[in-house]
Amino acid sequence: MQTPAPNQAREPDAPPLCAIFRRHLKREGLKFTPERAKVLDATLKTVGVFEADRLYLDLRGQGHRVSKATLYRTLKHLCDAGIITEVVLGPNQAHYELSFGQQPKGYLVCVHTHRIVEFNTADLTDLRDRICAEHGFTPVSHRLVIHGLSPEARKAAANDRGSKPSAKPVRPPSS
Amino acid sequence: MQTPAPNQAREPDAPPLCAIFRRHLKREGLKFTPERAKVLDATLKTVGVFEADRLYLDLRGQGHRVSKATLYRTLKHLCDAGIITEVVLGPNQAHYELSFGQQPKGYLVCVHTHRIVEFNTADLTDLRDRICAEHGFTPVSHRLVIHGLSPEARKAAANDRGSKPSAKPVRPPSS
DNA sequence: CTTGCTGCAAAAGTTTTGCACACGT
DNA sequence: ACGTGTGCAAAACTTTTGCAGCAAG
């Protein structure tokens, strides 16, 4: 149950995140429970950025019973353990992403469709460290979010000739 | 009422934001009401990043009666007009900032005290445009948020010798 | 066994919405 | 006058928390 062959291996020789999680829990005097294992599992099957509710539905869809309270509590522990990262894309809902051993990423978000494209920000780390140094800060993490119009959205908008030319987002704006 | 001498002029010859707001409203078939004027006024007295609730309290403190519903509705219009920008720093609450005619800024947020330091990201625009081009996106805006430990927080933590050395945030984590 | 964990339901906090009435244009 | 706006209160939503019973180390 703890480490079933992941549906889609992230890396051929990925580190055993389950073990890492257990170690973190032990260090903190916390317990490794079936519920936490299930949440970790669901998280590992994840691709890209996801919301808490998405994970909740995934779990239920697989017949697993985990309460939302436990889910949120576990997501926090997974953050603390460095396995996932909270990705703040909008003000209304938290997003998360597997991040163990990964470089910080940037996010390109379509203002119309909300599709998210990730990109590398390796060359940003120097800039980040310089800025932190200038202000006496010790860097912890950084996040670059770009909002733009995706090619599909532009195409769709072009087909909409006849409606108002002023572009209206597909869903209410949430940054 | 519309353009009282701003308490703290942002720039010696700042553009008349009130006029710009009115023009935007007219273009959209919306109305310029006393409440919207009050919200704009309070916004103009703002320094740096603020929360919706802060503005609400400011307004009430000045004896103005504007409902939260109207405040939120107006903030949206101000965003549309390009006068303010929604600054997403954490998942739980939206932040805003005067942004008309300003370069996009970056934000350095202390993980302990949540103090916010702003910095310039002019040199980021090229990178942004390059990334957008690579993915066929048309850039709209970008936001770089750096989380780190502020000098004060580090000092305070140093004084806390005796408590747990493991750093604990001042307030519950909100990215 | 001791200490932490879970589920439930209620609470908390921010933002949105329906409605009746009021007001810019 | 017409079409929007406003305030209020309730709703919507995500996330947190209190509590009684349960389970991991």
pTM of the entire structure?
0.84
Mean pLDDT of A55-65: 96
* Confidence (pLDDT) at B158: 75
Per CB-CB distance under 8 Å, the chain A contacts of B142 are 144-147
A106 reaches B (C-beta below 8 A):
yes
How many other CB atoms sit within 10 Å of the CB of residue A93?
13
What is the C-alpha to C-alpha distance for residues B39 and B34, in angstroms, rounded to an integer? 9
pLDDT in tens, A72-120: 999 999 999 999 999 999 898 999 999 999 999 999 999 989 999 999 9
Chain B residue with CA closest to A85: the answer is: B175
Query: H or E stretch including B116?
Result: strand B116-120
Chain A residue with CA closest to B120: the answer is: A131
Burial (CB count within 10 angstroms: exposed 0-12, middle 13-18, buried 19+), residue A27: exposed
Closest protein residue to D14 (Cα–C1'): A93
Q: Is the CB of B63 under 7 A from strand D?
A: no
pLDDT in tens, B83-114: 999 999 989 899 999 999 999 999 999 998 99
What is the C-alpha to C-alpha distance for residues B86 and B107, in angstroms, rounded to an integer? 13
A117 reaches B (C-beta below 8 A):
yes
